[in-house]
Amino acid sequence: MGAGHDHGGGEIRYEKPLWIALGLTFAFLVAEVIGALVTNSLALLSDAAHMGTDVLALGISLFAVWMSKRPADAKRTYGYARMEAIGAMINGGLLFVVAGYILWEAVGRFQQPPEVASTGMLVVASLGLVVNLISMRLLKAGAGESLNVKGAYLEVWADMLGSVGVITGALAIKFTGWTIVDPIVAVLIGLWVLPRTWSLMRQSGNILMQGVPDGLDLEAVRKALTEFPGVVAVHDLHAWALGSKEAVVTVHVVGDDAKTTGEQLRRELSAMLEERFGIEHATLQVEAVPCGDHGIHN
């Protein structure tokens, strides 16, 4: 018997900031692509490419927000909360593709560094930095609560660092004439993004594979259940997540009928799981005797 919670995605509070960030990012993307072509800067093109994935990422995030707000139905009884993880996984894949392309393109430029218009490169990158900082401010709050928004925030964060790198590279080229700085900056941006992208995809994959949510110690949950007054044994304990925060737990509990009723024990255990572990979605089956051979954990 469950704890009586709604398993739907619920209202996402960060839709408006996503829309504003999308509008700003798309407007600047057009300007940055033109600037990259005019200045012949790979570092600036790298930043523009990341800005392009930002547009896609923010669009995917908004679509995931829209889908996750849809209520549960007869075919999807948990609703569409997992669209958050799917959106984050797609965003991670986009980042991998873009970073790989920039690293490949940089190899050729190391061999024959082309001329770069450093002044134009500096102006465009500076404007990009302003846009990135505004977007980061808009998305920061949601990044701590939603994996989907975190994916968009990571995209913008990577662009912010990219803009700083391009500005640094433009200044170095302007005052030293070393155009090889341009591909070096592009490579550094790519190498910075890849491990963070992997972390995002790992988190998303863990949710989609129904892994134990990050931050939840399943053995601690098992111990708390086993040591609870009135509990004789625990088995078939499973934990997974619908999205970033919606941890779900199912468990069979063997109770001591002499000490408590099954319904009373279930309510007390549900309250304990929510209070100690923040688990709001718990389905507990209370048994007088173990339901078959499941490898009981005392």
Q: Which residue has the higher pLDDT, 189 or 114?
A: 189
- The whole-angstrom distance between residue 125's C-alpha and the CA centroid of its chain comes to 26
The secondary element (H helix, E strand) that includes residue 195 is helix 181-208
Q: Which residue has the higher pLDDT, 14 or 251?
A: 251
Hey, how many other C-beta atoms are within 10 angstroms of the C-beta on 6?
11
Q: Which residue has the higher pLDDT, 115 or 171?
A: 171
CA angle 57, 58, 64 (to 5 degrees): 90
Full DSSP string of 129-189: HHHHHHHHHHHHHHHTT-HHHHHHHHHHHHHHHHHHHHHHHHHHHHHH--TTHHHHHHHHH
> Tens digits of per-residue pLDDT, 271-292?
999 999 888 888 898 887 776 6
Supply φ then ψ for residue 243, to 5 degrees.
Answer: -145, -145
Q: What is residue 298's predicted lDDT score, i.e. its pLDDT?
A: 44
> Tens digits of per-residue pLDDT, 249-259?
999 998 876 55
Full DSSP string of 24-57: HHHHHHHHHHHHHHHHT-HHHHHHHHHHHHHHHH
> Tens digits of per-residue pLDDT, 228-249?
988 888 999 999 887 666 788 9
Cα 46 to Cα 26, 94, 163, distances in angstroms? 16, 13, 10
What is the spatial distance between Cα 118 and Cα 99, in angstroms, rounded to a whole number? 23
Supply φ then ψ for residue 236, to 5 degrees.
Answer: 50, 50
Helix (H, G, I), strand (E, B) or coil at 118: helix
Average pLDDT in the chain: 77
**Is 91 a residue whose pLDDT tops 80?**
no
What is the spatial distance between Cα 226 and Cα 232, in angstroms, rounded to a whole number? 7
